[in-house]
Amino acid sequence: MLGPEVSAQLRQPVVVENKPGAGGSLGTTLIARAKNDGYTIGVAGSATFGVNPAMQNNLPYAVADFSPIIKLASTSNVLVVPAQSKVANAQEFLASLKSGALRYNSLGNGTTAHLAGALVARQANATADHIPYKNAGEMITALVSAQVDFAFQPLPAVLSQIRGGKLRALGVSNTTPPKALSEAALLGPALATIGVKDFEKANVWFGMVAPKGTPRDVLQALNRAFAAALTKPEIQDKLLGSGYDIDPPASAEAFEQFVADQRNFWVDLVRVSGARAE
């Protein structure tokens, strides 16, 4: 999405390569090992730079192996229940959670969705059974068909089901509603407003990084190029229409501090949740 516009800003060709695998660790490791001349950069996210380092002691990379460029966008984790659920709002959900025996699912142990559930249960002095799935389609099907009671999912992953009436949203992690969604009221309140602390830190986010030691002037040029790309209406329409919020332009240093804060948050949550890498 951003490649052609960044290419125009830099007056350099931009080739995008998808390197999935190992929860994002494969592609992230390739960036860490690349030459630090600014010609090889990559995407950092809440999983690869927040949850994975907190969960796994044997990652093939460390956050310190990278030079931050810019934070691009973020989206809420949304508390959703099946449409047929008797739980009508976030307050009723918390009361139901305290009664015990609720089940929720995610795409695996140690994902942001798993740990978001652990965070809310912890603050409610309650427990909930976590059911991990390895396939997104099966996970959503189980949720829609009420095989589980609730889930926390990134907004873009469940927006179509919310719009279609198959899932009902009860609340969001972000403290402000998505900027471009006319149906933002369907998502429920910020859970912070009903006493769930720090849940906004469980947002899903992504940004750009380069290998450690990339020259400062190169990082600044890349920062400016991505910031300019995010101002283009066609890019904003795609991101905002999918449920993402575009972050205000900020420096590489601000992104570096954000990543450090995120790591501390997830390390603490992993510790108290007892989650373990599979």
| 228 torsion bin: left (phi>0), alpha (psi -120 to 50), beta (else) | alpha
Separation between Cα atoms, residue 70 and residue 74, nearest integer Å = 12
CA 200 to CA 171: how far, in whole Å? 11
Q: How many CB atoms lie under 10 A from the CB of residue 30?
A: 16
Give the pairing type, strands 150-154 and 103-106.
Answer: parallel
Phi, psi of 188 (to 5 degrees): 85, 180
Domain boundaries, the chain: 3-75+203-273, 77-201
Instruction: Return the bridge partners of 229, or none.
Output: none
> How far is it, in rounded angstroms, from Cα 11 to Cα 139?
43
Does residue 6 sit in helix, strand or coil?
helix
Which of the listed CATH numbers 3.50.50.60, 1.10.443.10, 3.60.21.10, 3.40.190.10 matches domain 77-201? 3.40.190.10
Domains 3-75+203-273 and 77-201 share a fold: yes
The fourth-level CATH superfamily of domain 3-75+203-273 is Bordetella uptake gene, domain 1 (3.40.190.150)
Query: What distance in Å separates the CA atoms of residue 19 and residue 75, rounded to the nearest whole number?
Result: 22
pTM, to two decimals: 0.87
Mind listing the pLDDT tens digit of every residue in the chain (278 residues)?
Answer: 788 889 999 998 988 888 766 667 888 999 999 999 999 999 999 989 998 888 888 889 999 999 999 999 999 899 999 999 999 999 999 999 988 789 999 988 888 889 888 888 888 888 899 999 988 999 999 999 999 999 999 999 999 999 999 999 999 988 877 765 666 677 888 888 888 888 888 889 999 999 999 999 999 999 999 999 999 999 998 888 888 888 887 888 999 999 999 989 998 888 877 766 65
